[in-house]
Structure 1
Amino acid sequence: MEEKVAIIGGGPAGMIAAGIAGSRGKNITLFEKNQKLGKKLFITGKGRCNITNNGDIEDLIQSVVVNNTFLYSAFYTFTNQDIIDLLNKYGVRTKVERGNRVFPESDKSSDVIKALEKFLNDNNVNIKLNTEIKDIIKDNENGLFSIKTQNNEILKFNKVIIATGGKSYEQTGSTGDGYKFSKKFNHTIIDLKPALVPCEVKENWITELQGLSLKNVTISAYTENKKIFEEFGEMIFTHYGISGPIVLTMSNYINKYISKSNDIKIKIDLKPALDFKKLESRLIKDFEKYSKKQFKNALNELLPKKLIPVIIKLSGIPEDKFINQITKEERTHLINILKGLTLTFKKFRPLNEGIITSGGISTLEIDPSTMESKIIKGLFFAGEVIDVDALTGGFNLQIAYSTGYLAGYNC
């Protein structure tokens, strides 16, 4: 009898799983609650779709912040080159940008989705859109899974792959359904937290900097004087705290310490290209040039306009003090602020604002070489629903393809 496989979730993990399982002659039905496939994929990379990362496999593994060893088999079985080759086959030419990020040459995520849809059609996948799954039950007598749709239709399958995504960006359909189904099958759900998410801070002066974007700064995070993160790049101030590429990356590292420490400090080096002595020389030059000006009018060449009043306030130097009256001690204090503008971490923005969800189905209960449940035979998992998460740069999408491939191949 022909094996029937249900795949729940039409994101990247579900689409790869469905296409691969279909290519092996299985009767595949892909269920998607939205009116089209790949709704979250469509908005990734600001609509350009950061398909994957062009680093080697060890780079991929090192980019995974939580449970990276679980992904060895997945990453080596279906590689970043494999997804590029698959998309090339269906007409998507790719390019590599900064940080080894891979994008479609067209800069259109819709081209990636169209290619994956062709892949599904070529492998005879039955796609059911606008179909929300309400329940999954396994009959222990015949070993079949009964899937109940929102129309109370009951459909029978031999195998099921749960690829429903996480619980962030709920407007894309990621409402945590997979966790609910898995819990019913006695799977452990590791606490859900936002990952790759902006941070709120305690300092009130942050509101004065709302909208200010900084390039070429270094951000560091500390817990009890231990440095847990440092990265150079871009960031932005918001009305509640900080965001931007290096802040989103930092959030994954803070995530690992948040339960162990309530005291996390964030430091921004506004001038990382200059060490203390070089910055002092630069400041002395500027101060000589503007020696007859007031302090508030002497920092225009050094800092963005919006940042100057905040730095003045933090320095404790009166804004109307003349430059030629500023003491060496005051100058030293100012340099320390420029090299370590300090913020106090308050909390992450809500789960729904995270790019991905940290936590999910425990990797201890999933076979890493097949993605099959160790608890329920015939039940498989793929993608963000599993307790693995990585940095930005195409790594999380590669997790989706690689785990999707293993689930599809082994179901």
Structure 2
Amino acid sequence: MMAAGTAAQRGLRVCLLEKNQKPGRKIGITGKGRCNLTNHCSVPEFIASVPTNGRFLYGAASRFSPYDTMSFFENLGVPLKTERGNRVFPQSDKAADVVGALERFVKASGAQMINREAKQLLISDGRIQGVSLKDGSQISAQSVVVCCGGKSYPATGSTGDGYLFARQAGHTVTRLRPSLVPLVVQGTDCKEMMGLSLKNISISVKDLKSGKIIYEDFGELLFTHFGLSGPVILSASAHLRDMSPGRYRIAIDLKPALSPEKLDARLVREFRENQNRDFENSLSSLLPRAMIPVAVRRSGIEPHIKCNLITREIRHDFASLLKSFSFSIEAFRPIEEAVVTSGGVSVREVDPKTMQSKLIKGLYFAGEVLDVDAYTGGYNLQIAFSTGRLAGNSVPVRGIIDDCCCD
């Protein structure tokens, strides 16, 4: 929508080919339906938040920055607000308002939208000629912009079509893998705590291969039947670049606001107040109910020992458990469950100044189909807006679509 509207505003005759009945379905579910549409940050800060080929985006982001995106939507009648982490949302908290603004933009630009599905690119003598559709018809075009998204959330129409078109044109598609995705963990503890959401916890992720802490975060986490999910887990997954079973370990600090000394003092008080109760029955003010059996089992403390018999050493060991409640990561969840797809059309074969293919004249790529992906926080949608804007501004004035009517 950004590419089509931008090109049409320049006076080009544009056809937006949309296989869904309505456009923007994936935007409509982002941010739990609120749409974190960008991040209120500078271009260098934006680039630093794109771990995969971030430098490739410098030109696109400089021409259409996060600030430009904010102005763009506010000028379309969508008031915005900035929340924790500089995440930008519509004031209404409705992703539908963002989709509606883009639809108005496309309509006002004069671009024509056709609800049909592309089958393949039409290429001759090293340049684009248009596209053929799955209903057997064709659309002639002197330029085609491929911005079909990745393979995540296929129910929204993001089924990897762009990769097929890219390969057809001779482009390299790098290995596809999930990013911003829930994590499968070893063991059954998470399943036992399924449905439990922890807020205001901190996590650290250690790469056991290098011995280094590669990521730390603070926020919300969710236990599921397969492992871990929630905002801090999705963010962490973007840093696990070469997944293998057992390589990464996530430690949860259940009491990040308490230093080890303050936590010990808290335990002393709790055990004193519950001195005649069993250990397993003394933890209700420290831990959620669903977590207590798992914590007791992990502690190795006899469940029925009276609190007045808990030694200083046992208490310190239990405090250490609360400050580092750890899980070994087995794998990513399937790519279909990821927020974004990591991997895609090799940026070495795309001109960063125009988004045009270096292999086929008149062919452009934008958005998630490219081998670029970012952390959570609105950065991935900003990639889509920046690259779509650049592609729409780069197609020759002779037109994206020479004839918007199906043959």
Q: TM-score range by the shorter chain?
A: over 0.9
Q: Alignment partner of 1:406: what SS?
A: helix
**Which residue does the alignment assign to 2:39?**
53
Would the aligned equivalents of 1:218 and 1:269 in 2 still touch at CA under 8 Å?
yes
Q: Does 1:197 align with 2:168?
A: no
Q: Which amino acid aligns with 1:249?
A: S
Distance 1:215 1:396 in 2: 25
Would the aligned equivalents of 2:38 and 2:377 in 1 still touch at CA under 8 Å?
yes
**Which residue does the alignment assign to 1:140?**
125
Q: Which amino acid aligns with 1:66?
A: T
Distance 1:357 1:176 in 2: 10
Q: Does 1:309 align with 2:258?
A: no
**Which residue does the alignment assign to 1:398?**
382
Which of 238, 241, 250 aligns to 2:224? It is 238
Distance 1:274 1:47 in 2: 34
Q: Alignment partner of 2:238: what SS?
A: helix
Shift of 1:58: 2.2
Cα deviation digits, residues 345-367 of structure 1 (max 9, x gap)? 01111110001111111111111
Q: Does 1:377 align with 2:350?
A: no
**Which residue does the alignment assign to 2:73?**
87
Q: Which amino acid aligns with 2:339?
A: I
Shift of 1:71: 1.1
Distance 1:107 1:292 in 2: 50
Distance 1:326 1:257 in 2: 43
Which of 97, 101, 115 aligns to 2:87? It is 101
Structure 2: runs of 5+ lacking an equivalent? 396-407
Q: Alignment partner of 1:64: what SS?
A: coil
Distance 1:390 1:144 in 2: 30
Q: Root-mean-square deviation (CA), in Å? A: 1.4
Shift of 1:314: 0.5
Distance 1:144 1:329 in 2: 72
Q: Alignment partner of 1:38: what SS?
A: coil
Shift of 1:228: 1.1
Q: Alignment partner of 1:377: what SS?
A: coil
Shift of 1:257: 3.1
Shift of 1:91: 1.5
Which of 350, 372, 383 aligns to 2:334? It is 350
- Which ranges of 4 or more aligned residues in structure 1 deviate by more than 4 Å? none
Distance 1:207 1:258 in 2: 22
CA spacing shift, 1:300–1:355, aligned 2, 3 Å: same
Distance 1:341 1:114 in 2: 44
Q: Percent identity?
A: 46
**Which residue does the alignment assign to 2:401?**
none
| TM-score for both structures, normalised by structure 2 | 0.94
**Which residue does the alignment assign to 2:138?**
154
Would the aligned equivalents of 2:42 and 2:65 in 1 still touch at CA under 8 Å?
no
Which of 44, 50, 73 aligns to 2:59? It is 73
Cα deviation digits, residues 202-229 of structure 1 (max 9, x gap)? 1212211111111111111111221111
Distance 2:130 2:69 in 1: 32
Q: Which amino acid aligns with 1:219?
A: I
Which of 252, 257, 261 aligns to 2:242? It is 257
Would the aligned equivalents of 2:200 and 2:218 in 1 still touch at CA under 8 Å?
yes
Q: Alignment partner of 1:236: what SS?
A: strand
Distance 2:58 2:313 in 1: 53
Q: Which amino acid aligns with 2:40?
A: N
Cα deviation digits, residues 1-36 of structure 1 (max 9, x gap)? xxxxxxxxxxxxxx1111111111211111000001
Which of 168, 180, 197 aligns to 1:184? It is 168
Q: Which amino acid aligns with 2:217?
A: E
Would the aligned equivalents of 2:147 and 2:365 in 1 still touch at CA under 8 Å?
yes
Shift of 1:88: 2.0
**Which residue does the alignment assign to 1:126?**
112
Distance 2:191 2:16 in 1: 46
Once structures 1 and 2 are overlaid, which stretch shifts more, 277-286 or 31-40?
Answer: 277-286
Distance 2:124 2:361 in 1: 12
Shift of 1:368: 1.1
Distance 2:170 2:148 in 1: 17
Would the aligned equivalents of 1:286 and 1:298 in 2 still touch at CA under 8 Å?
yes
Q: Alignment partner of 1:220: what SS?
A: strand
CA spacing shift, 1:241–1:186, aligned 2, 3 Å: same
CA spacing shift, 1:144–1:73, aligned 2, 3 Å: closer
**Which residue does the alignment assign to 1:7?**
none
Which of 303, 316, 321 aligns to 1:332? It is 316
Q: Alignment partner of 1:75: what SS?
A: helix
**Which residue does the alignment assign to 1:218?**
202
Would the aligned equivalents of 1:199 and 1:349 in 2 still touch at CA under 8 Å?
yes
Would the aligned equivalents of 1:144 and 1:156 in 2 still touch at CA under 8 Å?
no
Would the aligned equivalents of 1:168 and 1:351 in 2 still touch at CA under 8 Å?
yes
**Which residue does the alignment assign to 1:3?**
none
Once structures 1 and 2 are overlaid, which stretch shifts more, 166-175 or 388-397?
Answer: 388-397
Which of 22, 29, 35 aligns to 2:21? It is 35
